[in-house]
Amino acid sequence: MLWLALRFTALPDDPDEKTELLKYLASWAYNYTPYIKRYADDSLLLEISRCLQLFGGVESLGQRLQASLDGLVSHYRLGLAHTDKAAWLLSFQSHPLSDADSQDVFSARLQQVPLDKLIEQPRAVAQLQQMGLRRLGDIWHLPPSELGRRFGTSFVDYLVQIQGGAQAPPETYQSREHFCRQIAFASPLDNRSQLELPARQLLQQLIDYLLAGQLQCQEICWRLYSAQGAQQEIPIACSRVHHRWDLLFELTRVRLERVELRFEVDRLELECRQVAAVELGNASLFPQAAAGRREEAETLVARLQARLGRRAIYQIHLQTEHLPELGQSLELPFTPMPSVEPAQGARPCWLLTRPQPVREQRGRLFWHGPLQLVRGPERIQGYWWNQATTRDYFVARRDDALHCWIYQNLSDRHWYAHGIFA
């Protein structure tokens, strides 16, 4: 066997981004070999002995790989050896890939590897360093029984794995769960309605894929390509679709209606990246009203979002804040509600979007008519970290018996109406 280690030295710090990038790189490496392993959080190990013939030897494969990889990531190191772990260790040295390298060459190079690179056995390494042993070559020839006695058999096994004792056959790479299909047209389409039929075909294929894998999707993305390579993307959010191709089709149609085609479409692509295992519940013998309503609501919201835009539909949440205008917030539909106790004291059911000035004349207050204070004050003072606020709230009665909620801003003594009681 011959292993090539790709150690990426400038991966993103964010663990999720890092995982995504490594997954992507693994799918890229799949173009060269099906035997791919992730290792040490930052590396891919490729078994390449079986594809050397195809690519014309180590050097030629290396050149192709590097040419392609240079466009994908900025910093990486390569290591070549007869075992996977040895290849990874040698990625810390700089040797050009060569067809002439043999196991003896690799072994000689391994002798120079500093012990702290043996990341699978940090405790043993720390102890060995205390004994003045610094490199793999320093312990290579120590009796395995003595090493085993001191650092355990797992350490000796690890050394054997590096050196190339018994090696398990490499595992084949499992591609990620991800749907992406295209339809190319015989002649370019210039009309949106012509896209419907191919879109329908692709959606049916997606639903087949989802059903087969017991998956559901949360977002799909249409991509239109021109013959010249121009590209237009149309993402569509949907909520946990498992089998309703018709819903996806409807959402697609609604979106397409609102899209200007920027070019004649040569190819149509449907991609669905975000898939998750479907939550399949047991069907009830008698249909349950609540569950049905939730699904209906989700469908309705998805339709409205497709028509009005994702950020146009909101749900109102209560917040525990003293300041009335901060007492509620707009959240995306179906986000879980926090449990908030309703405010004590008088609170109007209609809060004005902006407080409106109340006129003060000869000691009397007017807001579309004279006002009389009937309750109060309730004082709210704080929010100094943002904009210091001090207000005295009162319930006031207007001549037409309307009760409104007014406040006096104590910093400038001006009065404002802030809400209306039913």
Partner 1 sequence: MAYAELCALSNFTFLRGASHPHELVEQAHHWGYQALALTDECSLAGVVRAHLCARELGLQLIIGSQFKLDNGCHLVALVTDRQAYAELSGLITLARRRSPKGQYQLRMEDLRFRLKRCLVIWLPDGKADAWEELVLELKRSFADRLWLGISRQFAAAESEHWRNLERLSREHQLRRVACGQVEMHCRKRKAMHDVLAAIRLGRPVQQLGKQLAANAEACLRPLHELAQIYPDELLAETLVLAGQCRFNLDELRYEYPAELVPSGMKAIDYLRQLAEQGSRQRWPGGMPQRIRAALEKEFVLIEELGYEYFFLTVHDLVRYARSCDILCQGRGSAANSILCYCLHITEVSPEQINMLFERFISRERNEPPDIDVDFESQRREEVIQYIYRKYSRKRAALAATVISYRTRSAVRDVGKALGISLEQVEQLAKSLAWWDRKRDLEQRAEQIFAAIEPHLLQHFLRLVMEIQGFPRHLSQHVGGFVIARDQVSDLVPVENAAMPERTIIQWDKDDLETLGLLKVDVLSLGMLSALRRTLALVQGYDARLQSMADVPREDPQVYAMLSRGDSIGVFQVESRAQMSMLPRLQPRCFYDLVIEIAIVRPGPIQGDMVVPYLKRRSGQEDREPPSAALKEVLQKTLGVPIFQEQVIRVAMVAAGFSGGEADQLRRAMATFGKRGDLQGFEEKFIRGMLKNGYSLDYANQLFDQIKGFGGYGFPESHSASFALLCYLSSWFKCHHPAAFYCGLLNSQPMGFYSPSQLVQDARRHGVQVLPVDVLRSDWESTLEGANPPALRLGLCRVAQLSEAVGRRIATVRNQCPFSSPRDLARRAAVPRDQLQALAAADALASISGHRYQSHWDVAGIEPTRPLLADAGEPRADLVQLAEPSLAQNIAADYTSTGLSLRPHPLALLRNQQPFARCKPQSELKGLSNGRYVQVAGLVTGRQRPGTAKGTIFLTLEDETGNINVVVWKRTQDHFREALLRAQLLLVKGRLETDGRVIHVIAGALQDYSDRLQGFEIRSRDFH
Which residues contribute to the site for partner 1 (CB under 8 A)?
A: 92, 112, 114, 116, 127, 129-135, 142-143, 146, 149-151, 319-322, 343-346, 375, 377-382, 384-386, 390, 392
Q: Please report how close the Cβ of residue 76 comes to partner 1 at its closest, in angstroms.
A: 18
Question: Residue 287 pairs with which residues in a beta bridge?
Answer: none
Handedness of CA 53, 58, 61, 65 (dihedral sign): positive
Q: Which is nearer to partner 1, 96 or 143 (CB)?
A: 143
Q: Please report how close the Cβ of residue 395 comes to partner 1 at its closest, in angstroms.
A: 10
Q: Which is nearer to partner 1, 89 or 265 (CB)?
A: 89
List the structure tokens of 227: 């013959």
Q: Which is nearer to partner 1, 353 or 386 (CB)?
A: 386
Nearest to 252 by CA among 195, 314, 211: 195
Q: Which is nearer to partner 1, 132 or 281 (CB)?
A: 132
Which residues have a Cβ under 8 Å from the Cβ of 89 and sit 6 or more positions away? Answer: 79, 81, 110, 113, 117, 118, 136, 162
Q: Please report how close the Cβ of residue 320 comes to partner 1 at its closest, in angstroms.
A: 4
Q: Which is nearer to partner 1, 19 or 390 (CB)?
A: 390
Q: Please report how close the Cβ of residue 396 comes to partner 1 at its closest, in angstroms.
A: 15
Distance separating alpha carbons of residues 247 and 251, to the nearest angstrom: 6
Beta strands in 43-149 (DSSP E): 43-47, 76-81
Which residues have a Cβ under 8 Å from the Cβ of 201 and sit 6 or more positions away? Answer: 183
User: Could you check whether the bond before residue 377 is cis, i.e. omega within 30 degrees of 0?
Assistant: yes
Q: Please report how close the Cβ of residue 112 comes to partner 1 at its closest, in angstroms.
A: 7
Distance separating alpha carbons of residues 127 and 103, to the nearest angstrom: 29
Q: Which is nearer to partner 1, 169 or 336 (CB)?
A: 336
Instruction: Tell me if 61 sits within 8 A of 48, measured CB to CB.
Output: yes
Q: Which is nearer to partner 1, 369 or 382 (CB)?
A: 382
Only one residue has tokens 């949360």, namely 218
Instruction: Report strand pairing: 36-39 vs 43-47.
Output: antiparallel
List the structure tokens of 111: 């002798």
Q: Please report how close the Cβ of residue 238 comes to partner 1 at its closest, in angstroms.
A: 33
The amino acid sitting at 365 is: L
Q: Please report how close the Cβ of residue 97 comes to partner 1 at its closest, in angstroms.
A: 20
Q: Please report how close the Cβ of residue 159 comes to partner 1 at its closest, in angstroms.
A: 15
Phi, then psi, of 72 in degrees rounded to 5? -100, -45
Q: Please report how close the Cβ of residue 131 comes to partner 1 at its closest, in angstroms.
A: 4
Q: Which is nearer to partner 1, 228 or 339 (CB)?
A: 339
Distance separating alpha carbons of residues 310 and 353, to the nearest angstrom: 23
Q: Which is nearer to partner 1, 130 or 339 (CB)?
A: 130
CA 241 remoteness from chain centre: 18
Q: Which is nearer to partner 1, 149 or 359 (CB)?
A: 149
End-to-end CA distance of the chain: give it in Å, rounded.
81
Distance separating alpha carbons of residues 4 and 78, to the nearest angstrom: 7
Phi, then psi, of 236 in degrees rounded to 5? -135, 120
Q: Which is nearer to partner 1, 188 or 327 (CB)?
A: 327
Distance separating alpha carbons of residues 96 and 209, to the nearest angstrom: 44
CA 126 remoteness from chain centre: 38
